[in-house]
Structure 1
Amino acid sequence: MLRITPLTIVFILMQLSFQAHAQKKKKKRIAMEQSPKQELIYDNINYLNAIKTVQLSPTGKENQLPIYTLGDADLLVLSFDDLRADVRDYYYSIEHCNADWTPSRLSALDYAEGYNEDRIVDFKQSQGSMIPYTHYKTIFPNEYVKPKVAGNFLLKIYEDADKERLILSRKFYVLKPLVVVENQILSSSFTDKRLSNQKLNITLKTGLTISNPHQDIQLHVMQNQRSDNMMILRTPMFIGTGEIKYNNSETLDFAANNEFRYVDLRSFKGGSAQIRQIDIDSLVNIELFTDQDNRDNTYATTYDENGKFYVRNLDYDNADIGGDYANVDFSLLTTQKVTGDIYVVGGYNNYQRTPNNKLEYDAATEKWIVRQRLKQGLYDYEYVLETEDGKVITDAFSGSHFQTGNDYQILVYYRRTGTYWDELLGFGQISINNKENKN
């Protein structure tokens, strides 16, 4: 017969207590800090430094302007990385905006079908990268989020269905194609700019009855999808039956700039011609060769992607989750007296000028330097100068040449008489002097 003594009972109770505590400890979850609340900005914004490599474009048309045509089968795809490397509940919704990217007076019931909110359910964690991250991806419009009017829209991504906990916002466009855009590019009408500028003439053709084109129509013309180099035109030169012409000799005259500088970061093992040094420790640190001030140089044919960037990886498969991040040091050498701020910009940061991509002068090397955290891939970039009075000079360190390859995007907005919002009814694009790409 088993004899149970008081000591045995105490021992059994201690064992049960220990096991219960261990199980409770094992089930305890580590609290994950939520993304902080942010004030919405109607622009392409990453609200957190941990959000990187944001891409938004039509499916199957990488790096093209994110335009969705009402009723079309082609959708838009959004992807981004979160360097916090955990798994979070991200939601998204859309908001209709005016042509100038201020919020329109339309309600969500007027501009969207469905719930106007959906959760991002496609996510994968990085594989083998020194900097871990989670890669998120979603495709829309869908049954939950779908625009039903034309115009400018802002896509908002936020955490835990809390619209104040924003992590990023992106502009996209919804087109109702009722206007045909015809265009041509010429050299500048100004004698002193013929070697440096590219001028557009635009003709709109439509069956719409537009009572006052001067007031109801506006053109937004971008060079290489960049809003910091955009011209807005309201006054046509000729109005005919079903035809409106914008061919004033003094309008839509763009500085052609120069070909973008570029860096090949597809391999952190083999490097590339633009990389001076690679140091791999707990992180990958890359120093690029110093860029020279090309303002006074003659034009030289080089290949670029007109400011775009591409996620690519020569070291491992699947660039989306196999690509790693590196700290990349850019530097610029110039003898100019700089009065203002210098920024490195490109499609990878939406040409935004923020403290993160502002160059600082290093007295020891007499260079302007900045560090960027970039994913493996191909990157076009350039240096721009923002003067003390806020003017942005895009060719300050590159010069401007008519021979430069550029893409132009033309957006046609129409505000119908008696309405209070802008519709996007026409889109056109034209390229000049583009060379075979390197991608």
Structure 2
Amino acid sequence: MIKLSGFFFVLLFSVQIAVAQDQQFVYDNKVYLPEIRTVQCYNTQKEQSLPVIALNSNELLYFSFDNLNGGSKIYSYTIEQCTSDWKPSRLSPLDYLQGMSEDRITAYKYSFGTLQQYTNYSLTLPNQQIKPKISGNYLLKVYENGNPQKPVVSQRFYVVDKQVTIGVNITASPQVNLRRTHQKVDFTISHSNPIQNPTLDLKAVVMQNGIPQTASWNKTPTFIRPGSLVYNDVNNNDFPGGNEFRKFDMRSFRYKAENVKEIIRDTINKVILFTDLNGNAAKFTNQFDENGSFFIRNSEGRDPNTDSDYARVYFTLNSAVPNTAGDAYVLGRFNNYIPNEASKLVYDAATKRFHTSIQLKQGLYDYKYVWLDKQADKTDLTVFEGSFFETENTYQVYVYYRKPGSRWEELIGFVNVNTTKR
């Protein structure tokens, strides 16, 4: 009887482990395994551009990631059409895909001459196997051994079928108390085909620097005119200008480049950055940045994807602890601007500094420090960085349209505008 009970205990324990290993995809940019690093996804026309391509065009998306465990794995992928607010559209793959519904990632290379061994996997979309045939939001899903219950990476991207023209105007905030700190985005959608009920059938989303967490929804036009819809409500699309991104350069481990204080090469590479100061100053200082992007580079190697090594990068912020209860994080496109344990800073009361370390691949990186207010459950970009209307930012406008009787939302317009290069 005792042996039988032990058998059932082991069986139950094994079932629990199997269940724990199975996960569900979320409709967001996410890495599901700790050994997966350096996810990149962009339009091949410009490195680290936003993952937006035109429907039925020659434009391609490049997608890649590293597995720090090395070796070779069997990874499959598929894409799923989503609603404008990133929920399943419930369409059949036959409705939105040409070719196959899933395929394997066959392009992979092993790292060369690096302390950290890894395997780099990549693919381009659309390809001969998988091609979207309607516009909209899409989620790329990568999973292991052909099992969607074993997710590896999920990545958002956009397919646009341009049917409207979007004009954008960016100014300082019209609200007097925000005029020195905020940027106001007004836009007009010009259309040649009639849109009978724009309040119900049309949605426009405005983002700052392609950061999903900044999305501002526009469902009702301020003015409806023949052939155009005007969105210039005083209280909408008013964004904190923030400050220019901080940055560091570790393309080489032989010499110390921008913002690098010390390089230690031992069993692992260590890169210690100079201590950052609180940027919430009274005066704006202009500085060139890449609006949060990162670029994988290696000064001594030929192929940055396989010759670039990894390093433990040490961040230090000299700043007082904010008055509200919360935690500090270091964020950028390299970690999808997600505040989690991997991006959290620890406060050292003895030195009165925040610090953390993150394992990153060689290259150039933009980053910012943010404060997550626990009570408000909201990140504040201004506590450590300040906010100025002069800050150079890019803004994106996405226009979605559901035709009367249609079962999905089309992405019929997209524009990317820089505050200084309009």
Q: TM-score range by the shorter chain?
A: over 0.9
- Of 205, 213, 229, the match for 1:244: 229
Contact 1:412 1:424 in 2 (8 A): yes
Aligned counterpart, 1:423: 410
- Of 135, 148, 154, the match for 2:120: 135
Gaps of 5+ in 2: 1-19
Aligned counterpart, 1:275: 260
- Of 332, 337, 349, the match for 1:351: 337
Gaps of 5+ in 1: 1-34
Q: What are the within-5 Å matches in structure 2 for residues 225-304 of structure 1?
A: 225-304=210-289
- Corresponding residue SS for 2:342: helix
Q: Greater shift after overlay, 415-424 or 113-122? A: 415-424
- Is residue 397 from structure 1 mapped to residue 388 from structure 2 by the alignment? no
Aligned counterpart, 2:362: 376
Amino acid of the structure 1 residue aligned with 2:173: S
Aligned counterpart, 1:44: 29
- Is residue 316 from structure 1 mapped to residue 301 from structure 2 by the alignment? yes
- Of 318, 340, 348, the match for 1:362: 348
- Number of residue pairs matched? 401
Distance 2:84 2:232 in 1: 22
- Of 61, 82, 89, the match for 2:74: 89
Contact 1:406 1:434 in 2 (8 A): no
TM-score by length of 1: 0.89
- Is residue 163 from structure 1 mapped to residue 148 from structure 2 by the alignment? yes
- What root-mean-square deviation, in Å, do the aligned CA atoms of Structure 1 and Structure 2 show? 1.5
Cα offset, 1:338, TM superposition: 4.9
Aligned counterpart, 2:372: 386
TM-score by length of 2: 0.92
Contact 1:154 1:170 in 2 (8 A): yes
Distance 2:371 2:349 in 1: 19
- Is residue 306 from structure 1 mapped to residue 291 from structure 2 by the alignment? yes
Contact 1:269 1:315 in 2 (8 A): no
Aligned counterpart, 1:126: 111
Calculate percent identity across the aligned residue pairs. 40
Cα offset, 1:166, TM superposition: 1.0
- Is residue 187 from structure 1 mapped to residue 175 from structure 2 by the alignment? no
Aligned counterpart, 2:13: none
Contact 1:57 1:64 in 2 (8 A): yes
Cα offset, 1:434, TM superposition: 6.6
Cα offset, 1:400, TM superposition: 0.7
- Corresponding residue SS for 1:228: helix
Distance 1:72 1:225 in 2: 22
Distance 2:165 2:117 in 1: 47
Amino acid of the structure 2 residue aligned with 1:381: Y
Indicate the structure (1 or 2) with the bigger Cα radius of gyration: 1
Contact 1:184 1:430 in 2 (8 A): no
Cα offset, 1:249, TM superposition: 2.1
Aligned counterpart, 1:29: none
Aligned counterpart, 1:342: 328
Aligned counterpart, 1:23: none
Post-superposition Cα deviations, 1:48-72, rounded to whole Å, max 9, x if no partner, equal 1111111111113111111121110
Amino acid of the structure 2 residue aligned with 1:296: A
Aligned counterpart, 1:411: 398
Distance 1:220 1:202 in 2: 11
Contact 1:189 1:250 in 2 (8 A): no
- Corresponding residue SS for 2:215: strand
Cα offset, 1:317, TM superposition: 2.1
Distance 1:290 1:151 in 2: 43
Distance 2:23 2:364 in 1: 31
Distance 1:45 1:134 in 2: 19
